[in-house]
Amino acid sequence: MTRLHLFDLDGTLMYGSAAPAEISRQLGLDAEIAELERAFGARKIGPQQFSVAVHALWAELTPAHVRAAFDGSPWLAGIRDVWQEIREQGDYCAVISLSPSFFVELLLEWGAHAAHGSVFPEVPFTRPVDVSGILTPKDKVTVADRLCTRFGVTRADCVAYADSATDAVLFEAVGVSVAVNARPALVECATHVYEGRDLRDAYQLVPAARPGVEAS
């Protein structure tokens, strides 16, 4: 059985942080992004409002800032090792995140088969955000379905890794789920739970899908 492994980014692949925070840090806008993240976490604003606000906040953003934010982010250990193993087994791995696509897509360099984020204008910004391209939690399932079609698998063949209650809708849709450093609400609906800083350990929680291969 071929599997598709679906990874959230903020708080999952990235320990205790999120792409918007790391990008804003490069611009010296820590307080401003923290305020927006609090509003988003309290559901006072939604993904579209949040994205329009950070687009305005990042008026001075350059590709160099984006690269520095990516390189300096607190990534879990072992991401590239896990994705290499997934590839070697003939499985697929993809990232689905509400964060900006220009950041998320950099993970293709590490071996992801696909990376999907909210669609922002090219950096440096010369155009406004088209809110129709901003992903919501429900859109993660829609993207997952497209990836299933692309890779010839079903929802039952998918393994989702995430941390936030907003990912519960994705966990409900797939066959196996791993709560990674997750909020209690997500832990309750996960197949497996992992706390730590090494994706290799989280990956080993998932039973092997192929006959004759045992999970560690």
User: Residues 42-63: pLDDT tens digits?
Assistant: 999 999 999 999 999 999 999 9
Placement of tokens 């995140």 in the chain: 97
Rounded Cα gap, residues 192 and 150, in angstroms: 26
Average pLDDT of the chain is 95
Question: What is the predicted pLDDT for the residue at 208?
Answer: 73
Task: Indicate if the pLDDT at residue 213 is higher than 60.
Answer: no
For residues 69 and 19, is the Cβ–Cβ distance under 8 A?
yes
Beta bridge partner(s), residue 179: 162, 193
Q: Which amino acid is at 68?
A: A
Q: What share of the chain is helix, strand, coil (3-state, %, to 5)?
A: 45, 15, 40
Confidence at 1, pLDDT banded by 50, 70, 90: confident
Question: What is the predicted pLDDT for the residue at 209?
Answer: 52
Q: What is the pTM of this model?
A: 0.94
Percent of the chain with pLDDT over 90: 93
